[in-house]
Amino acid sequence: MTVETKLALTGEDVRSYSESNREPEWLASKRSEAYQLAETLQLPKPDKTKIQNWNFTEFPVHAVKDEPLTGLAELPQDARALIDIENQKNIYVQRNNTPAYLKLSDELKEQGVILTDIFTAAREHPELVQKYFMKDAVKVDEHKLTALHAAFMNGGVFVYVPKGVEVKEPVQVLFLHEGEEVSLFNHAIIVADTNSSLTYVENYLSLSKDSKGLVNIISEVVAEDGAKITYGAVDVLAEGFTSYINRRGLAGRDATIEWALGLMNDCDTIYENVTHLVGDGSVGHSKSVLVGRGTQKQNVTAKTVHWGKGAEGFILQHGVMKEEASTIFNGIGKIEHGASKSDAVQESRVLMLSEKARGDANPILLIDEDDVTAGHAASVGRVDPLQLYYLMSRGISRTEAERLIVHGFLAPVVSQLPIEGVKKQLSEVIERKVR
């Protein structure tokens, strides 16, 4: 007997939502299948975090309707601060569940670069979307949350860079949350075709403090042979959400995916960032920083899976825990049989700022091949008293010294973000959260 979960929407709701988006038939039927799977599939089992009682299924409204923006200047100040309005050439903004603003330079358009919301992409580029949507990177039937995601998808973005095209300036995407009814089931597909390159930066930003909704986000990031994707993200979502955020990459032969993720949510969140190093000589670098506060519970898994020969995986996770927050960091390097000459390195460090906080760093190496190199470092501790002494011996107060050490500890992601406004925002969010 399987336990059926009663879902917030009916199958009929899903079908009519799909119709209202004029989705192609393959997508509509994929959603229906996903809906049925969602009723019976189990929740994922993140290591050492019990999520059986987390609410991943109930939410007030599936999709709210907002007005599109006529210009970026209309955005509220907090969102505007992320954008260099005059110089940002390629940008997509989604307000709640509504595609609100889109700008793509003529140059990129002529080169065949696509930047659009996920529903328009499904209508206008059905073959491309069908090729990548929940097929190779993330599958619908992995667990209840992937199935729910496919069934309830209510937003997202599609970015495609054709063969050989180098996108020099970053593509910026803003997902804004306003209002407590809102839920985000966003799906992002980011593809860099053979020998192309792309820098993509996304922000999840709550503009209102209250939320009763769900976040179930999936990004599928594909770097085909010889391609390079730099993926930056800063998540700042409000306390009331329950979040599942899965960013997964596939790297082809000699392809590179570099992640720089600022995980700054105030809500309970399950994070997953897996990079499949499929091709020989592929490279995956995953850097993430997190600040936990209040009674927030989070689980962060970063993983590189080595399939190709000579695949290089690097994971860095730095977390700061304060108050009664609790976070489990799993760093996993998995080398499959045949992935000879692979290198899997990881570093997980947790800085505890209070007695009641909890932080675990679990470094895991799973190796099915002999001819490889691998290494891991993990630590959980307080601010080093000798570092404090050193800084204070130069006249810096204890508070300021601690601040410098914490910022320094979280710098590996801040320094990697390629958009100045986003870099500054992450610094400011860190400042606000650790104070």
Partner 1 sequence: MSTLEIKGLHVEIEGKEILKGVDLTINTNEIHAVMGPNGTGKSTLASAIMGHPKYEVTAGTVTLDGEDVLEMEVDERAKAGLFLAMQYPSEISGVTNADFLRSAINSQREEGDEVSLMKFIRELDSKMETLEMDQEMAQRYLNEGFSGGEKKRNEILQLMMLKPKFAILDEIDSGLDIDALKVVSKGVNEMRGENFGCLIITHYQRLLNYITPDKVHVMMQGRVVKSGGPELAQKLEAQGYDWIKEELGIEDETVGQEA
Residues in touch with partner 1 (CB under 8 A): 384-387, 389-398, 400-401, 404-405, 407-412, 415
Residue 10 or residue 415: which is nearer to partner 1 going by CB? 415
Residue 113 or residue 413: which is nearer to partner 1 going by CB? 413
Handedness of CA 332, 338, 340, 342 (dihedral sign): negative
From CA 194, how far away is CA 430, in angstroms rounded?
37
CB of 388 to partner 1, least distance (A): 8
Alpha-helical regions (H) of 343-394 = 385-392
CA 52-56-61 angle, to 5 degrees, is: 155
Residue 207 or residue 396: which is nearer to partner 1 going by CB? 396
From CA 171, how far away is CA 194, in angstroms rounded?
18
CA 352-357-359 angle, to 5 degrees, is: 65
Long-range (24+ apart) CB contacts under 8 A made by 53-57 are: 54/242, 54/268, 55/214, 55/242, 56/144, 56/145, 56/148, 56/214, 56/216, 56/242, 56/244, 57/5, 57/6, 57/7, 57/8, 57/148, 57/214
CB of 14 to partner 1, least distance (A): 46
With CA atoms as reference, report the closest residue to 229 among 252, 258, 250, 254: 258
CB of 360 to partner 1, least distance (A): 21
CB of 397 to partner 1, least distance (A): 5
CB of 402 to partner 1, least distance (A): 12
Residue 161 or residue 316: which is nearer to partner 1 going by CB? 316
Residue 128 or residue 383: which is nearer to partner 1 going by CB? 383
Residue 19 or residue 420: which is nearer to partner 1 going by CB? 420
Handedness of CA 45, 36, 175, 52 (dihedral sign): negative
Alpha-helical regions (H) of 191-314 = none
Residue 83 or residue 234: which is nearer to partner 1 going by CB? 234
CB of 346 to partner 1, least distance (A): 17
CB of 396 to partner 1, least distance (A): 5
CB of 409 to partner 1, least distance (A): 6
From CA 402, how far away is CA 69, in angstroms rounded?
42
Residue 209 or residue 398: which is nearer to partner 1 going by CB? 398
